[in-house]
Structure 1
């Protein structure tokens, strides 16, 4: 491990080993863990020093201190737990004092980890302390309870190979490389701007004003690891950033990409972002309104106050080694024909703004995006990758009890969409998928979840490429359905249809006698009998087929698709 002192940001802890070729040969006899996307982001930033002073995944003592007090065991300020979550089965063979090999999904050896700690966390306590909520509407809470492994491992890392990126290679600076680039350019004061969204005129005005205020050069430092489900993909965003950069005065600004897995943790996340930018050599950090907020909870309330992040960074400004630059929201004042901070708007002035939701609606419906909001080249970039809904791929996901009528509706919808034409249509019926894609799976909860996730993956690929995927599994568990939605919504449309036919009607229709066998105890774990069906809380459509003819039911589905814009309305 190298430790260097730089005038740009202080000590860096880089965790790459020496003589890595010899080390690689030691991996074959070790337990191997395949890193998830989020874990791979964390490992990359640990190895390059972006998470300095961490030297690996946190020990239990460090984890406890961070969860409770935002401090490592030695008292160092650090607001976000960085832990390796693994399955119980893997943890059983990963004893403290043992080495494990960490590999990417393609099998490339990324690092060794010396396991120092192994524990089962209190996830509810972690969610309350770190995120302020256990609500699954928070993406990090959903990940914690529904995706993360049951056991945490802590320990020092020795890096072997940095994760490979084939995109935008010239824009991917490590902390050391970025510090050296600042020095080469003669930049001694650098203000960083964190973003996970495309930059529009308000963002440019905000960053320009911030740089002027603190007399610093500007680093646009967007996250290209994991952001909030449904965000614009990073390929599109980076092209937009490149357009935006051309609007700044020459030699005053630069763009670099950050492979961070965001937690959307509001104030704590903002503090974390600031420390990371200190490690990259920045001297100032812009803190905006609602910084790193996931939006509203399941009751429609904001998870965090709009300026909570400002207050937390102000409380720790003397300790974090980087100067926070707080900014209020920027709004367009029609009378002045310019953007100003919202607190500078005078009485009687006309304020204009377009929310992210409204922008998505305009893209979805092909409505004009005004020049006062964004630049034409950015609008064109967004339209290129986010066409109107009637030209997008989409998935219709039928879910309901066995015998509810899912397959009938799915087949009818397939025929209707093929009749009208315009997109390729693929049916992913539960029984069909079981035969051709999941024949080796049983009917345990684990296998049913895996089967549904496989359906979701195939549907996401169909949707991404402009087709229509029609899915009709039982899909009894809400968490798995949410995971499928999160796979698909970033690449196209997702329409969940709850076929809410009552259980007694489903039993009457039972052609295969499955309900009778389940009632007799001949089939175990049968949905609706001795295994629960978790009804969707807020599906796009709910249909009870017990009182409707199939033609009537499918008309409801078609009308919903038309209302949502996936089926183009007739001209004239």
Structure 2
């Protein structure tokens, strides 16, 4: 069921039980590194095959190939460097022992057997992958000012996945998702990526895509790292849970993706398509300004609005997953429905509510109209972002 994983096989780096005990004992004697939030996300998707065909963090040859050509040295498409950055002192300690224990929130989760270490050029990486060194781009800021100076690679053995305490029933490995799709008999599945609460326009977009493809829908929101300032993932997941029953029964599956986004625009859209292929989707929706971080210091968009769609479509046949490009959806007052913006007839009135306007309405206690978002989603957002007057009343009542 579903397309074959990228590279032909779904990677699983978790060790067998008869190896786990010995490896855990070895891990306790090695120098250790507490993974950053991004590194935890990357490790989880490496371990479960979300990043198939990768079997570890990139070595120098693959890293340089990905930066320059969006391919691994073996030829497979791979547009985003997945690297493990470390301080020099940790690299020296790992070099002395040959291995490094990786920890997630204090728990030993993996051992990396050190084979290579090098100092990258962060500015060159930012220009190659992101197209900019502007620090208003969150990934450029992280690369240039927050990352550690050494990258390392080597065989990776995973003891356990990083632990999550919320929404466990919605967290699925790629193998889990493939099994769920097979159980439901879903042969055609279109995946939808989002890092925001879903409103009417998003829902209409996904329903249209599924209907046009005669497919079912995989709602696959990112709950790892997204753009700074985005709505908290806990709030977003409650919104998704509230929205799910409003889809036609038996047509949509909600599954959370522990991805650390790089906001890399066209390259990231290609990456997202590969990841959804690994999860069993046959098609992937690529929207306007997909994975774009907004505007630079001069107020110009980092990426052209449809550059992501163009790049993914360019590689569609090689990817083996169908690309579903969608224009922005707008609400037409005369039709009382959402339609793609390029289908709006002259003279019709389009209604929009921007993210800024949404935040203002919530702060002022104003209604979010039902044409903009379902009442169940509006209720979750009001609960998470009470009006200023309510916040004052709550403080006074303490």
Q: Indicate the TM-score class for this superposition, using the shorter chain for normalisation.
A: over 0.9
Partner Cα separation in structure 2 for residue 422 and residue 318 of structure 1: 56
Q: Shift of the alpha carbon at 1:422?
A: 7.6
Partner of 2:32: 32
Partner Cα separation in structure 1 for residue 388 and residue 21 of structure 2: 51
Partner Cα separation in structure 1 for residue 120 and residue 157 of structure 2: 25
Partner of 2:102: 102
Q: Shift of the alpha carbon at 1:94?
A: 2.7
Q: Deviations over 1:167-198 (max 9, x none)?
A: 11111111111101111110111000000101
- The SS at the match of 1:262 is coil
Residue pairs, 1:487-506, within 5 angstroms:
none
- The SS at the match of 2:226 is coil
Partner Cα separation in structure 1 for residue 269 and residue 372 of structure 2: 26
User: CA contact under 8 A between 1:96 and 1:117: conserved in structure 2?
Assistant: no
Structure 2 unaligned spans of 5+? none
Partner of 2:43: 43
Partner Cα separation in structure 2 for residue 357 and residue 61 of structure 1: 44
Partner of 1:82: 82
Matched, 1:56 2:56: yes
User: CA contact under 8 A between 1:30 and 1:101: conserved in structure 2?
Assistant: yes
Q: Shift of the alpha carbon at 1:380?
A: 1.0
Partner Cα separation in structure 2 for residue 156 and residue 221 of structure 1: 29
Q: In angstroms, what is the RMSD of aligned CA positions?
A: 1.8
Partner of 1:91: 91
Q: Which one has more relative contact order, counting CA pairs under 8 Å at least 6 apart?
A: 2
Structure 1 unaligned spans of 5+? 1-5, 394-420, 425-465, 468-572
- The SS at the match of 1:93 is helix
Q: Shift of the alpha carbon at 1:157?
A: 1.2
Q: Shift of the alpha carbon at 1:243?
A: 1.5
Matched, 1:183 2:159: no
Q: Shift of the alpha carbon at 1:388?
A: 2.4
User: CA contact under 8 A between 2:222 and 2:257: conserved in structure 1?
Assistant: yes
Partner Cα separation in structure 1 for residue 181 and residue 107 of structure 2: 32
Partner Cα separation in structure 1 for residue 97 and residue 211 of structure 2: 52
User: CA contact under 8 A between 1:290 and 1:307: conserved in structure 2?
Assistant: yes
User: CA contact under 8 A between 1:52 and 1:279: conserved in structure 2?
Assistant: yes
Match of 1:9 among 4, 20, 42: 4
Farther-moved stretch of structure 1 (10-19 vs 196-205): 10-19
User: CA contact under 8 A between 1:96 and 1:116: conserved in structure 2?
Assistant: no
Partner Cα separation in structure 1 for residue 394 and residue 158 of structure 2: 50
Farther-moved stretch of structure 1 (20-29 vs 39-48): 20-29
Of structures 1 and 2, the larger Rg is shown by 1
Partner of 1:256: 255
Partner Cα separation in structure 2 for residue 60 and residue 97 of structure 1: 21
Return the TM-score normalized by structure 1: 0.67
Return the TM-score normalized by structure 2: 0.95
Q: Shift of the alpha carbon at 1:92?
A: 2.2
Partner of 1:558: none
- The SS at the match of 1:57 is coil
Partner of 1:380: 379
Partner Cα separation in structure 2 for residue 113 and residue 198 of structure 1: 37
User: CA contact under 8 A between 1:8 and 1:179: conserved in structure 2?
Assistant: no
- The SS at the match of 1:275 is helix
Residue pairs, 1:261-276, within 5 angstroms:
261-276=260-275
Partner of 2:69: 69
Partner Cα separation in structure 1 for residue 388 and residue 321 of structure 2: 44
- The SS at the match of 1:94 is helix
Partner Cα separation in structure 2 for residue 302 and residue 8 of structure 1: 34
User: CA contact under 8 A between 2:328 and 2:341: conserved in structure 1?
Assistant: yes
Q: Shift of the alpha carbon at 1:244?
A: 1.3
- The SS at the match of 2:246 is coil
User: CA contact under 8 A between 1:9 and 1:283: conserved in structure 2?
Assistant: no
- The SS at the match of 2:339 is strand
Farther-moved stretch of structure 1 (174-183 vs 148-157): 148-157
Q: Shift of the alpha carbon at 1:423?
A: 4.5
Q: Deviations over 1:232-279 (max 9, x none)?
A: 111111111112111111111110000111111111111100000000
Partner Cα separation in structure 1 for residue 88 and residue 319 of structure 2: 36
Residue pairs, 1:383-402, within 5 angstroms:
383-389=382-388
Partner of 1:321: 320
User: CA contact under 8 A between 2:2 and 2:282: conserved in structure 1?
Assistant: no
Q: Give the number of equivalent residue pairs.
A: 393
Q: Deviations over 1:415-442 (max 9, x none)?
A: xxxxxx9859xxxxxxxxxxxxxxxxxx
User: CA contact under 8 A between 1:267 and 1:309: conserved in structure 2?
Assistant: yes
Matched, 1:223 2:222: yes
Partner Cα separation in structure 2 for residue 392 and residue 262 of structure 1: 32
Partner of 2:356: 357
Partner of 2:110: 111
Partner Cα separation in structure 1 for residue 125 and residue 350 of structure 2: 40
